[in-house]
Amino acid sequence: MFKIQFRDGRSEAVVLESPGKTIGKGDVNDIVIDADGVNGFHADIKVDGDTFIISDVNSKSGTRVNGTGIDTPTQLSVGDVIEIGGVELEMVEETGASKTLVLSGTALLQAGADCWSVVADSGLERGQVIPVTDRIEIGRALECDISILEPALSRKHAELEPLGPDLIVRDLGSVNGTYVNGEKIEDEHTLKEGDVLQFGQIRFIVSAP
């Protein structure tokens, strides 16, 4: 299954199905980008089997694929990055029922209800509870306590740490950012019960002790 996903994780990935998908600022589009410089109907991706062709629809700011502006229909492949209005989209392939989360170290500790935890809210792992009893590192690298296997994440992306009565999330200089309730955090943020924590396409619900 092939999809187009926002590299900053702002919206859910969109499955590429025949006959295709449109990209633009208006809600009538399959992929909506609400940003300056994006036309109401900006680009079009045609799908024919396993062939994906993107075209710019005479937009003012243009459409770029892998950093190069396109002026003719261009074939897309897995890993290609589309840039429209400063927003980056990536073509990815979802291969069956493989897991997205890999837990190790502190994230595998068993804990009762007297500690902070995060609950997976997307993917096959939805509902999985991860206790946070100590500092937990999150990223694409397998040595992280919570490894999230998707390309939008940096190798060392963010960390969670309980400090006194609080739970702190820190972004570790990631490329695509860490989001709390849909807002990108600058450095660190104090979490509260029910907050939605997002890394790429993976969301967690914060649960207080």
pLDDT in the model for residue 89 = 94
Rounded to whole angstroms, the Cα distance separating 186 from 124 reads: 29
pLDDT digit string (tens) for 58-102? 999 999 999 999 999 999 998 899 999 999 999 987 655 455 667
Q: Which pLDDT belongs to residue 99? A: 58
Burial of 169 (0-12, 13-18, 19+ CB in 10 A): buried
| Positions in the chain short of pLDDT 70 | 94-101, 103-113, 123-124
Residues shown for the chain: 209
Contact 101, 117 (CB under 8 A): no
- The span from the first CA to the last CA of the chain, in angstroms, equals 39
Among residues 178, 64, 193, which one has the least CA distance to residue 117?
Answer: 193
